[in-house]
Structure 1
Amino acid sequence: MQTIIDYFGQIPSSHRSAILAGGILFFWLLEGIWPLFRFSYHKWKHAGINFFFTLTTILVNFPLAFILVKTSDWTIKEELGILQWLPHMPAWLYALTGLLLLDIVGAWLAHWTQHKTKWLWRFHIIHHADQHVDTTTANRHHPGESFIRFVFTAAAIFIAGAPMWLVFLYQSLSVVLSQFNHANIVLPFWIDRILCLVIVTPNMHHVHHHYVQPFTDSNYGNIFSVWDRLFGTFKTLPQNEIIYGIDTHPIPDENSRVGSLLKIPFQEYRTPVKDDFSKAVD
């Protein structure tokens, strides 16, 4: 465990980039061997759009990264955050507890909030508008959403009182698991049934990308599947019945052009077929 702590405490930027690129390459190749859907689309053109949004995410997060470092250092110095208040525990349990805290606030809560708040949802639509979900979809986020998620990540670090080695470990796992659960693959039922008890699998997250509610408003998890089970947002749907996209933006000119996607958050709100925003905050 100490080796992991030492590595992620000093992980070079090049290694973090390699994790991002390596994950995409691995799951991209796996999709070609073991696909769930055989999409009739230009894979490189589709990837190009999603890579554009990957780049904007990096550009948004890179200059703000010092805030995460300062937040982490300050919580450790001042002994703030849940991890700082817990009794001494084995390093592996400390890491697991920290990952759970970072995941529920930085991923699950952020995701749930975006679905339940109209103006945040408008930014998140870009992610859901993809009608050919594959591993590159994991990084398809509007620059505005990238900033929103950054805010939740900073809040998660503050609440957890997480040291930077744990933050880097969490972010690395988050990147790989997101690429995994968006990948255009399907796991055998028995494997999925076991893995899904702990982590978010492709079979589980594909349901979240079904084009209509209530399935759109389910399975918000990124790393751990426990949150959706705990909060009653876990849903299942046969993989062959899933239709990707979002019912409010079904036209390719809107959902597969960078310029059109960038404009979506600033357009008039469109009511879903099964509107679940009756209690949302404008």
Structure 2
Amino acid sequence: METIYSYFETIPSSHRSLILVSGITLFWLLEGALPLFKFDYKKWKHALPNFFFTLTTIIVNFGLAFLLLKSADWVKANDFGIINWLPEMSLWLYVFLGVLLLDFFGAYLAHFVEHKVKPLWMVHLVHHTDHNVDTTTANRHHPIESVIRFAFTLLGVFVVGTPIAIVMLYQALSLIFTQFTHANIKLPKSIDKIISYVLISPDMHKIHHHYRLPYTDSNYGNIFSIWDRLFGTYMYMERENLKYGVDVFPDKKKNSNIKDLLKQPFQKYEKPTLASDSEA
């Protein structure tokens, strides 16, 4: 663990970029070999707007990265935050708790709030209006959402008290998991179910991308499934019944156009309807 900790304490930006590119490449190839759905689409054409928003996410995170560094250095220097107030523990447990709690603040809580606060939901729509969810959907976030997510992660750094090594490790794991859970891959149902007891599995997250409530408002987690199970936001449905998108924003053409997606947070909003048992 000391070696891993030291590596992420000084991880070069080029290595972080390699994680991003390698993950997309790996899951892109797996989607061709083990597809969950056989989408009727041109994969590269579908990927272009998603890659655009991946680039804006990178730009936002890179531009604000100094805040993470300063905050992580401050909590370490001042012995501030939950994991620093606990009794002395092994490095393994210290890192695990740091990543686990950052996953709550930076992923689960941020995601939950985005679904419950109307203006934030309108921003988050860009992610949900993809009608063909695959690994490129993972970082399809409006630039405003990238700032929102960053703010929640920064809050987590202060509250949890994570040094920069844990922050970088968390972000690397978060990136890999979001690519994995959005990837259009078909795992055996039994394996997917076993994974979902501890971690977010592909099927578990894709339920969140079902086009109607209440499924859209479930399974908010990114790395660990404990938060959804603990707070009662876990839901299950058969993968065969999944339909992606958002019921009140059904225009596939607009939902794949960068210009329209950038304007999406400012559209007129209609209240969605709950799915009946027969529809789900």
TM-score by length of 2: 0.97
Question: What whole-Å deviation, never above 9, does each CA across 1:40-85 have from its counterpart, x for those lacking one?
Answer: 0010011111000000111111111000001111111112110110
What is the CA distance between 1:268 and its match in structure 2? 2.2
What is the CA distance between 1:99 and its match in structure 2? 0.8
Give the whole-Å Cα distance in 2 for the aligned partners of 1:270 and 1:71: 39
Q: Does 1:185 align with 2:185?
A: yes
Could you list the runs of 5+ residues in structure 2 that have no partner in the other structure?
276-280
What is the CA distance between 1:253 and its match in structure 2? 2.5
Percent identity between matched residues is 57
Q: Secondary structure at the match of 1:141?
A: coil
Give the whole-Å Cα distance in 2 for the aligned partners of 1:189 and 1:222: 19
Preserved contact between residue 210 and residue 244 of structure 1 (Cα < 8 Å):
yes
Give the whole-Å Cα distance in 2 for the aligned partners of 1:32 and 1:152: 35
Preserved contact between residue 208 and residue 215 of structure 1 (Cα < 8 Å):
yes
Give the whole-Å Cα distance in 2 for the aligned partners of 1:248 and 1:256: 16
Give the whole-Å Cα distance in 2 for the aligned partners of 1:28 and 1:66: 32
What is the CA distance between 1:274 and its match in structure 2? 3.1
1:280 — aligned with what?
none
1:279 — aligned with what?
none
Aligned AA for 2:146? S
2:93 — aligned with what?
93
What is the CA distance between 1:190 and its match in structure 2? 1.8
- Find runs of 4+ consecutive structure 1 residues off by over 3 angstroms: none
1:218 — aligned with what?
218
Aligned AA for 1:103? D
Task: Quote the RMSD (CA, aligned, Å).
Answer: 1.0
2:17 — aligned with what?
17
What is the CA distance between 1:252 and its match in structure 2? 1.6
Question: What whole-Å deviation, never above 9, does each CA across 1:225-267 have from its counterpart, x for those lacking one?
Answer: 0111111111111111100001111112221101111101112
TM-score by length of 1: 0.96
Question: Where in structure 2 are the equivalents of 1:198-237 lying within 5 Å?
Answer: 198-237=198-237
Preserved contact between residue 253 and residue 260 of structure 1 (Cα < 8 Å):
no
Give the whole-Å Cα distance in 2 for the aligned partners of 1:189 and 1:46: 27
Question: What whole-Å deviation, never above 9, does each CA across 1:189-232 have from its counterpart, x for those lacking one?
Answer: 22112211111010100100000000000000000001111111
1:74 — aligned with what?
74
1:45 — aligned with what?
45
Give the whole-Å Cα distance in 1 for the aligned partners of 2:192 and 2:264: 35
1:265 — aligned with what?
265
Aligned AA for 1:9? E
1:30 — aligned with what?
30
Question: Where in structure 2 are the equivalents of 1:159-174 lying within 5 Å?
Answer: 159-174=159-174
Q: Secondary structure at the match of 2:250?
A: coil
Bigger Cα displacement from structure 2, 186-195 vs 154-163? 186-195
2:62 — aligned with what?
62
Give the whole-Å Cα distance in 2 for the aligned partners of 1:93 and 1:186: 33
What is the CA distance between 1:186 and its match in structure 2? 2.1
Aligned AA for 1:144? I
Q: How many aligned positions are there?
A: 275
What is the CA distance between 1:270 and its match in structure 2? 2.2
What is the CA distance between 1:269 and its match in structure 2? 2.2
Give the whole-Å Cα distance in 2 for the aligned partners of 1:132 and 1:172: 25
1:278 — aligned with what?
none
2:278 — aligned with what?
none
Preserved contact between residue 208 and residue 220 of structure 1 (Cα < 8 Å):
yes
